[in-house]
Structure 1
Amino acid sequence: MKPSQAVLLNADLLPIILSEFEENQDEMFLYLFVNKTWAATLVRLLWKAPIWNSPRSYKSFLRTLKRSNVTFAYGKLIRRLVFEPIKNREQPSFANEDLKLFSTKSGRLTHLTFGQTDNFFSAEAVSELVKNNQNLLGFAATKPCYNIEWLNIALSPVINGHCLKLSQLEIQNMRHFLIFMDYWPNGDYSDDAISQTRNLIKEIGFKCPIFALDINVHIDDEMANMIIQTFKNLKILHCETVSCSALKILLPYCKKLKWLSIAFSSENPTEDVQQDIGSQFPSLDALNLFLPPHDWSPFTKALAPNQTNLRRINLFGCDSVTDEAFLPIAKNCLRLEFIGLICCQLLTDASISVLARNVGKNLKNINICRIPKLTDVSIIEIANSCHNLEKFVLESCKKVTSRSLTLLVRKCKSLTELSGDYPRIIAAKIVSTLAVQGNTKLQVLQIHSRHDPDSNILEGKKYRRFDLGLLEKLAEKCPKLRELELKCYITGLYPNLLINALYKLRNLEKLFMEPRQNQKLNREHIMKLENHPRLKEVRFDGGCSEDAISYIKERSKNKKGMFIHKIDKLLQLTTYIYRKSIPSYKKDRYN
């Protein structure tokens, strides 16, 4: 680099330059090692945590950390260290020695997570890592076998005042995991353990400015009193269950709460109690609710008028929520951007239609699953009102037809993700509409189709078949597709033509398809597919010849990124092909 270039391309200009590579992180990382300023600035800018996609990649990184003569102090660049399982990937195996290596090489961690992986770290090794990272902002331990004894040792540096900036705490060592006791023999689910965990949380709260608290525990009156005395600046609270009496204690003193996830315990509060609790909720940004079987309309009527700033709501498994209970939310919460309605089986078109009309301009993401009374009326209202919709997920709503879904595809031009399971004929019509109409913003398309004779009768027999021609048109009309999951019947799926069609999806990174068993991909097809310019992950459910499977097994043994997974007792093979890729990233849940 010339001196003049070094002056012009300084750290102040990097955010502007790197913003051009948001969609293709591969290209962004090509510039990581231009010089030390670029490398350090880039890592500071990233809000996501690196993921090692294969044992080969993380072992290479560990070997690099051990070296004394490296160009960059890579360990000092790490801010977030997360040990969690990666979907469809072989589980990396970390040892306590690896954790000690991070302790000596990485002294600038801000977030540390120990998730549900097969790795078990000793409390002493974790304690050493925590102690050597005094700027730690977030700590999470979500594996049930990390019991109270383990937590007391691992978090002792926090209790002793070594991490005075800690603001996010997540520990899940409670009765919620009782069903896993046989699998996690070290778990302690006694009342004494829960009392000790409460005391541990209290000690940390007195030492650190915690604003985000995620604990899988039932909040009773005693726990509620502890929270209001200890966590004065609480903005985010996730818990397992909460009693109505505890909410009466908690809510008046938690006026700063912005994100709340709770499940009401199994009790039947009176109308007066519901109104009293609902009216005391602070104005929230996000609310996740589980409501047990009961009439909750008095609660929602008291809750909704104060939630005018609510941007996210998720109702999960609320089987007893009726239109009477949901309509106050639809009429008052006009700034909603995300809506999740999972297994709310009593809701009808009346609720969804009113919701779509009222929040249409702001709504960006909607996830609807298992609402049997939902029909085309609701989806048409969403299509006509929610033109800024970016993500749409619909599953197990059997009364919805292609009439409304194709209208949604045509009218919602800002869609970046479209997912769902549909009858075969509806799936074909959705893809056909996309292939004709086009969508230059669509990045994720996940279509699962099922055989449903009733839908065939309802839809009529004449429809465009899903064939390779349709796939090629999809590549042309939706050029930004990064993830394509087509678990459906495709005609004319000849291997050579399929590979050629996939090459036309130039930005494709993940692919899941079901080739027909009588038209199998062979070794040469797999080798050609590996040369796709961006493809990193491919899964074929069946449809591979014996030599293709042998080739993938051979590559997998050589640890070159290929995996084979058996999916059923008939030994039907699902083949996974992974290109060695630049690490991807995961957003922090509290941002």
Structure 2
Amino acid sequence: MNILKPAQAVLLNADLLPTILSEFEENQDEMFLYLFVNKTWAATLVRLLWKAPIWNSPRSYKLFLRTLRKSNATFAYGKLIRRLVFEPIKNREQPTFGNDDLKLFSIKSDRITHLTFGQTDNFFAAEAVCELVKNNPNLSGFAATKPCYNIAWLNIALSPVINGHCLKLTQLEIQNMRHFLIFLDYWPNGDYSDDAICQTRDLIREIGFKCPIFALDINVHIDDAMADMITQTFKSLKILHCETVSCSALKILLPYCKKLKWLSIAFSSEQPSDDIQQEIGSQFPSLDALNLFLPPHDWSPFTKALAPNQTNLRRINLFGCDSVTDEAFLPIAKCCVRLEFVGLICCQLLTDASISVLARNVSKYLKNINICRIPKLTDVSIIEFANNCHNLEKFVLDNCKKVTSRSLTLLVRKCKSLTELSGDYPRIIAAKIVSTLATQGNTKLQVLQIHSRHDPDSNIIEGKKYRRFDLGLLEKLADKCPKLKELELKCYITGLYPNLLINALYKLRNLEKLFMEPKQNLNREHIMKLENHPRLKEVRFEGGCSEDAMLYIKERNKNRKGMFIHVKPTY
């Protein structure tokens, strides 16, 4: 009989920790530091349990694995793990894991619900993954996205699922390439032979027969045969992501997928007639989210048939739809009035005629908009967003050269719920945006990412008199936007004297991530002082560091501990 120590008896269940901490609005991650013994690897467990770690470093993962191997550890930490994710850590040195580490998790962790094998440098043998899957019967989500995880690997790794050991699996993602590769004329990775496609279809069918899958993310082209298999096997499908799909396959698929709520598809390169477009568009179920890639063609008959049934649509993302015109987008702008997220990326033909209509119609619901490379967009649409969308929380605008500071500063002043503001602007516009924030303030803003470029044409449009972006403006920003957590200013800022800059950064008390281009040389002492910032976890500089500072950063990074600092050299 196992007798628990007093400390073990009062340990909170892992499922309760995120629930409890979600009630605390700020600094949830660092609260985990007070729940575990070893502060270096406690953050690693945060990632395994719930969210990204506090200090991302190979050292913390190694220490955590060392603790798991101990036979006399105070707590059974392995049993706390619910999510095990192997993915690249942005801007960090990648931890190294081997098959022995995976076997350790197989022995120590039998309550994992989600497994993800992403595109890291680590490669795991299919047999090791198979053992881990088999020892976690409560698995509800599995994802494998690394190119070398081919169909032969998947057949072995997922054999416990096929054999009925994981009857709770509801989410399956198997891809060896990402969605953006649909823009290439060929697939550099993956086996697209007829045999591989048949094996993939058979594997998905076997899993679908055994498990109540409702979310399916696959890297294959859905043809008629695949569509038939999906309709016969996945009766409760709510989420479907695929690479490409034929119109004939959609005609088979859509009538039997009435429960679909989230759909991501790219139409194949065929050019359907108006009648076929109308037939397909009218068969779409009422969705919550729709991601679309439409190849060059007139798609207005499709959208006119699609939009009237999408009155409850909350998210839409049109990516690379450079043939979509205002005529095609207007039905969506008029009918989909409950949109909370809108992504319009590289939709070259759209103009204010349809986007301003969208802004007026989604005024009460819109929270997040991402607009990139729409050359005909002007201040007219941005002013409509500013005047109508006062619940807007995230605004991203990149490479829309006809938009000026007149509309952007108005949006900053009127949208007081903004938590994230990002974009690529000419220098003069970037300075005016930051100046407006520093003057008007925003107590909710957490992320500010401004990239500026030298654009002589914008100087002519804006006029030469404008507020210079200097250190004083940065200090005012700290005062007026106290909740800033991420600050990325790839801008020309004057007066960045090292001591004054460090003092200004200390005024940003909640800052966790920083990216700047300091023009004056920061020395070793400045970096050491920056390390003592109360919450700063990640610093990236583009130039601006002296030789002794660079040597110190190189030496400290060898220890792989604490704040991450990276300096990109300038030439």
Q: Is the 8 A contact 1:360 1:387 kept in 2?
A: yes
Deviation string, structure 1 residues 240-286 (Cα, Å, up to 9, x no partner): 00000000000000000000000000011000000000000000000
Aligned equivalent of 1:564: 565
Distance 2:245 2:293 in 1: 11
* Change beyond 3 A, Cα 1:327–1:182: closer
Cα offset, 1:84, TM superposition: 0.4
Aligned equivalent of 1:157: 160
Cα offset, 1:559, TM superposition: 2.7
* Change beyond 3 A, Cα 1:93–1:430: same
TM-score scaled by length of structure 2: 0.92
Cα offset, 1:315, TM superposition: 0.1
Aligned equivalent of 2:534: 533
* Change beyond 3 A, Cα 1:177–1:589: farther
Distance 1:589 1:130 in 2: 47
More divergent stretch after superposition (281-290 vs 554-563): 554-563
Distance 2:91 2:569 in 1: 21
Cα offset, 1:127, TM superposition: 0.1
Cα offset, 1:3, TM superposition: 13
* Change beyond 3 A, Cα 1:396–1:180: closer
Cα offset, 1:29, TM superposition: 1.3
* Change beyond 3 A, Cα 1:420–1:34: same
Q: Is the 8 A contact 1:467 1:490 kept in 2?
A: yes
* Change beyond 3 A, Cα 1:35–1:150: closer
Secondary structure, aligned partner of 2:488: strand
Higher RCO, 1 or 2 (CA under 8 Å, sep at least 6)?
1
Q: Is the 8 A contact 1:275 1:299 kept in 2?
A: yes
Distance 1:208 1:13 in 2: 27
Distance 1:76 1:256 in 2: 35
* Change beyond 3 A, Cα 1:129–1:192: same
* Change beyond 3 A, Cα 1:465–1:25: same
Secondary structure, aligned partner of 1:126: helix
* Change beyond 3 A, Cα 1:162–1:3: closer
Q: Is the 8 A contact 2:360 2:384 kept in 1?
A: yes
Distance 1:493 1:169 in 2: 50
Deviation string, structure 1 residues 321-362 (Cα, Å, up to 9, x no partner): 000000000100011000000000100001111001000110
Cα offset, 1:53, TM superposition: 1.1
- Percent identity reads 91
Deviation string, structure 1 residues 351-401 (Cα, Å, up to 9, x no partner): 111001000110000000000000000000000000000000000000000
Cα offset, 1:104, TM superposition: 0.2
* Change beyond 3 A, Cα 1:511–1:41: closer
Cα offset, 1:14, TM superposition: 7.5
* Change beyond 3 A, Cα 1:527–1:197: same
Secondary structure, aligned partner of 2:100: helix
* Change beyond 3 A, Cα 1:47–1:235: farther
Distance 2:441 2:218 in 1: 45
Q: Is the 8 A contact 1:144 1:177 kept in 2?
A: no
* Change beyond 3 A, Cα 1:417–1:94: same
Distance 1:68 1:360 in 2: 59
Cα offset, 1:516, TM superposition: 1.2
Secondary structure, aligned partner of 1:512: strand
Q: Is the 8 A contact 1:212 1:235 kept in 2?
A: yes
Deviation string, structure 1 residues 467-508 (Cα, Å, up to 9, x no partner): 010000000000000000000000001000000000000000
Q: Aligned residue pairs: how many? A: 567
Q: Is the 8 A contact 1:142 1:173 kept in 2?
A: yes
* Change beyond 3 A, Cα 1:533–1:189: same
The equivalences for 1:420-499 within 5 A come to 420-499=423-502
Cα offset, 1:98, TM superposition: 0.3
* Change beyond 3 A, Cα 1:211–1:342: same
Distance 1:289 1:453 in 2: 36
More divergent stretch after superposition (378-387 vs 142-151): 142-151
Cα offset, 1:173, TM superposition: 3.6
Distance 1:180 1:376 in 2: 30
Distance 1:524 1:359 in 2: 51
Distance 1:456 1:320 in 2: 32
Q: Is the 8 A contact 1:47 1:588 kept in 2?
A: no
Distance 2:192 2:5 in 1: 64
Which stretches in structure 1 are left out of the alignment for 5+ residues?
Answer: 566-586
Cα offset, 1:174, TM superposition: 7.0
Cα offset, 1:179, TM superposition: 11
* Change beyond 3 A, Cα 1:396–1:261: same
Aligned equivalent of 2:314: 311
Secondary structure, aligned partner of 1:130: helix
Distance 1:126 1:119 in 2: 13
Cα offset, 1:191, TM superposition: 1.8
More divergent stretch after superposition (26-35 vs 37-46): 37-46
Q: Is the 8 A contact 2:86 2:118 kept in 1?
A: yes
Cα offset, 1:23, TM superposition: 2.6
* Change beyond 3 A, Cα 1:83–1:12: closer
Cα offset, 1:31, TM superposition: 4.0
Cα offset, 1:71, TM superposition: 2.0
Distance 1:28 1:437 in 2: 32
More divergent stretch after superposition (551-560 vs 472-481): 551-560
More divergent stretch after superposition (27-36 vs 64-73): 27-36
Cα offset, 1:185, TM superposition: 10
More divergent stretch after superposition (166-175 vs 111-120): 166-175
Q: Is the 8 A contact 2:33 2:39 kept in 1?
A: no
Cα offset, 1:148, TM superposition: 1.1
Q: Is the 8 A contact 2:437 2:480 kept in 1?
A: yes
Q: Is the 8 A contact 2:41 2:64 kept in 1?
A: no
Cα offset, 1:557, TM superposition: 2.1
Distance 1:4 1:218 in 2: 54
Distance 1:589 1:293 in 2: 40
Q: Is the 8 A contact 1:487 1:514 kept in 2?
A: yes
Deviation string, structure 1 residues 85-139 (Cα, Å, up to 9, x no partner): 0110111110000000000001000000000001000000000000000000000
Distance 1:36 1:16 in 2: 21
Deviation string, structure 1 residues 190-242 (Cα, Å, up to 9, x no partner): 22111101100000000000000000111000000000000000000000000
Which stretches in structure 2 are left out of the alignment for 5+ residues?
Answer: none
* Change beyond 3 A, Cα 1:2–1:239: closer
Q: Is the 8 A contact 1:556 1:562 kept in 2?
A: no
